[in-house]
Amino acid sequence: MAEDLDELLDEVESKFCRPDPLRLGTVERPRGGGGGFFSNDQNRAEAKENLRLAETFEKEDDLDSLINEIFEEPHFDKKHFKLKSKSSGNTSVRASIQGLGKSCSPVYIGGSTVPCGIGTNTSQRACDHLRCTACDFWVESYDDYRWDKSCDYLFFRNNMPEFHKLKTKLVKKKGTRAYACQCSWRAVEELTDLQTDHQLRWVCGKH
């Protein structure tokens, strides 16, 4: 009876207590001259990591080779490429500065025979981008017209800038240019510097 019990215990110990290298997925290998176990899962993980590193290095090598091939093309000039980029940047900056607009100095108004444009001391042109700082309206102008003497503040206050309403007070007169905002109006025949008319609050709104 005692012998049967010892055999049963040995069998249980062999199955459940001792590590089975095949069942646990391990392979017994000598490590440093002694015994030990290396897990197959650990080996697979190390193999995957090595493969991943090898693929990474291979991709980096391919990228370096591609860059070298591009710069080694016979028609590719690195110096010209850099200069071209710098030049295009300066062009865009100059275009932005020019797009800010120019103002008349001095600011002129004039009759219909006076050309319109940017007025300067050397180029005496009537400004066609006038704005009133009092009523904050753009100044309208009509060539070969003058304002009727019956015009008043309320007329322009109620009708600016509708031409079909304003024309009821416009009188044909060749060589004259009629100007008006919502609060002021003038009929001019000669080139006139706005600085000489202190009642007008008209300024150049930039071209």
Percent of the chain at pLDDT exceeding 90:
51
Model confidence band, residue 27 (pLDDT cutoffs 50, 70, 90)? very low
Query: According to the model, what pLDDT value does residue 87 have?
Result: 44
Contact 161, 140 (CB under 8 A): yes
For residue 14 the two structure tokens come to: 């062999």
Instruction: Decide: helix, strand or coil at residue 77.
Output: coil
Contact 170, 142 (CB under 8 A): yes
Q: List Cβ neighbours of 158 (8 Å cut-off, separation of 6 or more).
A: 165
Query: According to the model, what pLDDT value does residue 24 have?
Result: 46
pTM: 0.52
Q: Which of 201, 186, 202 is nearest to 151 (CA)?
A: 186
Model confidence band, residue 144 (pLDDT cutoffs 50, 70, 90)? very high
Q: List Cβ neighbours of 71 (8 Å cut-off, separation of 6 or more).
A: 78
Residue spans of the domains in the chain: they are: 108-204
The DSSP letter of residue 199 is T
Query: According to the model, what pLDDT value does residue 101 have?
Result: 80
